[in-house]
Homo-oligomer: A and B are copies of this chain.
Amino acid sequence: MMNISAAAKASGLPTKTVRYYADVDLVPAPARTEAGYRAYDEASVRKLIFVKRARDFGFSIEECRSLLGLYQDDHRTSAEVKSLAQKRLEEIEQKQRELQSLKDELTRLVTACNGDHRPDCPIIDYLS
């Protein structure tokens, strides 16, 4: 059993975040010491690491909750997991398309702008 900062270090998360995950019941501490300190075991640390990876992939806390449920469920099917990952992939692709058209438009404006000391600016003109 380790205390919260050891669990945080082992999972690569800030202590505050580990406490937060316990608060929202995503990865609760499996036990408390006499003094009320959270005590984490190996299994919980693995869950913290799992959640950190999933968060880095952009899964929301609620999606992490689902994934964690599947992670702990020996009877899960890979189809269930794949479906969540595919949903996330589509979100990423949608975001990419949005960013690209944004970038194209902004690039055109930046290119058209002299960027000198004069007040004439196609960017401002476009926004107006």
List chain A positions with a Cβ less than 8 A from chain B.
46, 49-50, 53-54, 57-58, 67, 70-71, 74-79, 81-83, 85-86, 88-89, 92-93, 95-96, 99-100, 102-103, 105-107, 109-110, 113-124, 126-128
Closest B-chain residue to A103, C-beta based? B92
A15 to chain B, nearest CB (A): 22
Q: A120 touching B89 by the CB < 8 A rule?
A: no
A113 to B76 alpha-carbon distance, docked (Å)? 13
Residue from B49, B81, B115 within 8 A of A78 (CB atoms)? B115
A88 contacts across to B, CB distance below 8 A: 106
Q: A82 touching B127 by the CB < 8 A rule?
A: no
